[in-house]
Amino acid sequence: MYIPAHFQAGADAIHDLLMRPGAANLVTMTQRGLLASFVPFVYDPSIGEHGALHGHLARTNTQWSEPAIGESLVIIQGADAYVSPSWYASKAEHGRVVPTWNYSTAHVYGTLAVHDDVAWLGNQVRRLTKRNEAPFERPWSVDDAPERYVAGQLRAIVGVELLITRIEAKTKLSQNRPDTDIDGVIAGLEACGQAEASADVARARQERSRPDAGSA
């Protein structure tokens, strides 16, 4: 990934990308060529040097049964949004502004392991469900479904674990703009209903202003 120095993600930003509930693209190189699936993941920082991502695929999805050649890749995407040059204070000053796109992303590389084990799968599904149900007033639990039904569903999936070897992460969030332009970006994104993208820009500015920001 091309990462200019001012868009290099710090440790906190990488942790946020790994921990936020959601799904990501799992990409593997196989004898059949590149294979990819969109998979919900849970990050476990306690495994290995860099942690691991745990997910599952449908048993009928052949990606799990095609041995991966070399490293596998999970592409995690944070909030992203179009940025209009009309939001910049610089537009009124000199007009030398153009549109851009703000985003956060992490390319997580590692060794892919397959888990065709009911106990492992049951634990993974429970952790995944708990994380994503947490914001709800009455969270759904795996135990809310009939035991025999759950057992059948588990037989229909296969677990995948990416043992992380390295991470390349980028937060392109207007850090290269003056504060007056960033104020305009935050206001513009909020007006467009892009609250998450706006909050990311605000956090990136705070991170930029920290005395130790250059050492991340």
Distance between CA 124 and CA 56 in Å, rounded? 8
pLDDT bin (cut points 50, 70, 90) of residue 216 is very low
Distance between CA 75 and CA 86 in Å, rounded? 31
Q: Which residues contact 16 (CB under 8 A, 6 or more apart)?
A: 78
Cα distance between the two ends of the chain: 18
Which of 106, 78, 76, 77 shows the shortest CA–CA distance to 167? 106
The 10s digit of each residue's pLDDT in 177-207 is 999 999 999 999 999 999 999 999 999 988 8
Please give the radius of gyration of the chain, using alpha carbons only, rounded to the nearest integer.
20
Measured CA to CA in angstroms, residue 99 lies from 8, 88, 113 at distances of 21, 10, 42
Per-residue pLDDT at 212: 57
Residue with tokens 């992203």: 80
User: Do residues 180 and 132 lie in contact, with contact meaning Cβ atoms separated by under 8 Å?
Assistant: no
Domains of the chain listed by start with CATH number: 5-215 (2.30.110.10)
User: Do residues 209 and 178 lie in contact, with contact meaning Cβ atoms separated by under 8 Å?
Assistant: no
Residue 44 pLDDT exceeds 90: yes
Per-residue pLDDT at 206: 85
Average pLDDT on 167-174 reads: 97
Round the average pLDDT of the chain to a whole number and report it: 94
Measured CA to CA in angstroms, residue 6 lies from 9, 112, 140 at distances of 9, 31, 42
Structure token pair of residue 35: 């294979």
- Which DSSP symbol is given to 67? P
Cα four-point dihedral sign 7, 12, 15, 21: negative
Per-residue pLDDT at 213: 52
